[in-house]
Each structure stands twice: as structure tokens, then as C-alpha cells.
Structure 1
């Protein structure tokens, strides 16, 4: 047995095998960095579908879950290879500035206004999000805001702007500076209102006890897009793998994986009509 062990050691020491081991380690270490919103992470979507891409491509996807603003900033700085977010205006600005290329529509869902069963502002059953926000402000019912420059917070701020209201600093308006899951948890504990993407709300519904009070307003439409970081600006990024992910998410296989994600028996994301080509 000792002779066998020594033979293995001698074999392992050969230059050809050492080169093979180094090459294998490099393959295993290959990683694609994806900055994305907390909604795609908190909902469990990426945990459900990304392994399918990883297996097909032979690459590990490292997901950085932050608000849309921070995700775009990471991409602008070349700290990630691709970004999956939900703020179309900011996405177009990002691409126009030369930070990203090959933006494509991926999927959509909607925002919902949620709150306690007691509904102190009396907004239950409404379909006009601006009218509901006006009532919340008028009654000074507690409202928890993301406060993290996310796509959700940007949408909320847009509603207040349309109403001509400055709510920042108001005692009833709480800026949490947290992701969607944490904000829903806070709103449940505080018996407060908040704006949430439907996917994360459904995922956290049982633990928060919050109800959907306003939904169905076209202004609550929530589309998601994916963008590769510009290889012209950052030649060192993994552009080929980023494009492979973009192609997969918008392919029949990726679209099928997104559509099949129904953790509670209902779809949380809907694939965008195939109009990217």
C-alpha cells in the first residue's frame, strides 16, 4: 500500500497533471456577477431558475441583491457583469451613457399597496394608487418607505410627485433603508402601509399579516430588464457569459423557467412578449 501511495504522489507531481489541475480549478472558479433587485431575490425566483442556467453554461452566478439604484451603480463602476432591474427610465439612461449594452425586456409583474387589516386610511378596494396615497397622507397613517433608492422607492416617490406632496421627514412616513422583505416585515410589525412588488408581498404575506388594499392601477405596472455591462468601458468583465445569461433568460428555456415559478400555485412574474428581436 505505501508503494501505491508513493506512485500517486509521483503521478500528481508530473507537470502535465499539475497543469490539468490548475486548468480545472480555473474552470471551477469561473463566476458571473449579477446585480439585481431584492424582489427577484426575496421572492425566490433566482434561486429557482439560475441553477438551470449554471448547469447549461458551466458558470457560477454570484447574485448581488440590492436596490435598483445601487445595482446600476455597481454596474456603472464595473463591479458586476450584468444587471437585472426594474426602472425603465434609469435603464435607458444607463445605456445611453455608455455603461451598458444589449438591454432586453425579461418579465413583469405589478406593484401593490398593502397595509393592515384595520385600514385606518380607508383605501381598501381602490384601483387608483394616487387617490389612496392622498388618503394615507391626509390621515397621517403610518407608511414605511424603502428609502434605499430602489425601483420600488423611485416608483413611490413618483406618486408623491404627481400628487405635489413632499412627505420626506414627515413623522408618519418612515424611510427604512432596507430591502423589500425587511420593509414588509417592518410594516407588519408597525401596522403600517407600504408599496411592494407583488412577488415579494406574496412570499412574505403569511408572516406579515398585511392585506393587498389597492391594485390594478396601470401606473403600478412593474417591468424588469437585463443589461450587460459595456465591454468597451470595462474590457475585463465577463461579457460573453453576461450575454449568455441574457440570451438564456429571453430564450424559450428561460421564459419557461420564469413562467413555471409558482411557489404558491400562482405566477409571480410574467414573461414579456417576445419583442426583443
Structure 2
């Protein structure tokens, strides 16, 4: 009797594997290389289950700085790149790694710092004037230093302020990390930091940090999405990747982005071109 039960169990298990195999083989999935801001803000956790429900496509996100995300696309190790550094994205297209860049949504950067505000920048709207004051005061400033979109924007603002920064300067600290860990460092140091508003709103370990500078038009933060060129990399999942992009740009995708809030505050604002 025991032999029959064991044999029957083996047959059942074999049939189960046989029946499941086609389903596994047919499972649709894509890899997206994206930024830490879209991941750490919780946007993907909110958005991707809705996309999967609509399309049946699973999405794996590799969340790194924009520079690294673009490099992943350059190697053909992602199907879609979803980042926020327009000049770098346009270069990515020019180099032939994508054929088109699509604008998806925007938010803004904010300058965060301690309530005590030793550089006296609070309440201002001019990001470059604020950085000049921080440099003059040699107040602690935390930079991501990771070639991300936020890091690229920060360096543009320093350059616009006429200031050269370097990790050799005692007051300027590069972390080489994502937005969340960099904010943790700023909180521990009571230092200033440039952050995207979405990650800031979802950040819990604020300590004495507050928003000190916001509203400068230069702090505008645009996100774009691109399908990695399937001609250059034939293994790219063109149909599934394009389905994700089309959904992001559709009314449904744009409405989903607009509906994502933390504490009643909208984190991203859709602006796909009609």
C-alpha cells in the first residue's frame, strides 16, 4: 500500500510539473533600470501591481542612480530605462541605445537642512544663492556622489553658483549612495542635502531636517522613459517593454501616477505628451 501511495504521489507531482511548465514558460516579464527615487518613494510598489493586473507582465526593477541605470541600458541588461536626467537621456538616444525618449512625469528638487540653518538659507527660492551661502559658511553638505540624476542636478547648481566642490573639502561629503541612505547621512550629520521631493516625503528618519529652499524653476525635475534599442540588442523584450511605456503614457497610467500620494500630498505629476 505504501508503494502504491508513493508511486501515485510521484505521478501526481510529475503531472503537476508538466502542466505548470507551459505557464512558467509563457510568463511575461521585463527588466527596468530606474532611479532610487522612483523605487524609494514607493511609486513602483504602488504602480506595478496595477500594470501587471492590466497586462499580465511582471516587472523587475533595478534601482540605482540615473548614470548607472543608463549604463545598464548601454550593456543591454535592461529592456526599459526610466530615469531623470534629460541631457544624459538625450545622449543615450543619440548614441543609439534607444530610438526615442518619452517624457512621463515631473516633480521637483528641494534643499533640505537642519532647523538651526547655520548657513541662513531658509525661506529662499534661489538654489544657487543658497549654495553660495553654504559654501561661505562651510556648513556640512551631503552629496550623493553617485552620478545619479539628483547628483547631476546638484553639480549643475554648484557650477551655476560659481563654486567648485570636492570631497577633499572637509564640509562637503560624498556618500556614493542612493537618496534614502544619503538622507540618513544628512540626518545624522545635521547637514544640508539636495533631494527629490518624492523621496523626502516618504523619508521617515528626518531628525532635525526640514525643507529650507524650494520653488526655484531650476529645481524642476523631469522623468523620461526609453525602450532599449532592440536592433542593437535583439534579446530586448520589445513588445513587453513597449507595452509598459505605452501604459505609462496612457490616460490610465498617467492617472495612476497622479493618484499616488503620501500624507495627502501628490509625489509625481504626469505630463506625457498627448
RMSD (Å), alpha carbons: 1.9
Which segments of 5 or more consecutive residues in structure 2 lack a partner in the other structure? none
**2:44 paired residue among 30, 46, 51:** 46
Runs of 4+ in 1 over 6 A off after TM superposition: 1-5
> How much has 1:11 moved relative to structure 2?
7.0
Match of residue 63 from structure 1:
61
> How much has 1:22 moved relative to structure 2?
2.2
Q: TM-score, normalised by structure 2?
A: 0.93
Question: Aligned equivalents of 2:135 and 2:204: distance in 1?
Answer: 24
Superposed, 1:7-156 pairs within 5 Å as: 10=11, 20-28=19-27, 30-156=28-154
Cα 1:12–1:196 shift into 2, 3 Å: closer
Q: TM-score, normalised by structure 1?
A: 0.92
Secondary structure (helix, strand or coil) at the match of 1:100 reads coil
Question: Aligned equivalents of 2:149 and 2:17: distance in 1?
Answer: 48
> How much has 1:239 moved relative to structure 2?
1.3
Superposed, 1:146-185 pairs within 5 Å as: 146-168=144-166, 169-185=168-184
Superposed, 1:246-257 pairs within 5 Å as: 246-257=245-256
> How much has 1:202 moved relative to structure 2?
1.1
Aligned residues: 272
Contact map agreement 1:184 1:208 (CA 8 A) in 2: no
Contact map agreement 1:113 1:196 (CA 8 A) in 2: yes
The CA deviation string for residues 78-131 of structure 1, in whole angstroms up to 9 with x for no partner, is 011101100011111101110013321110000000100000000000000000
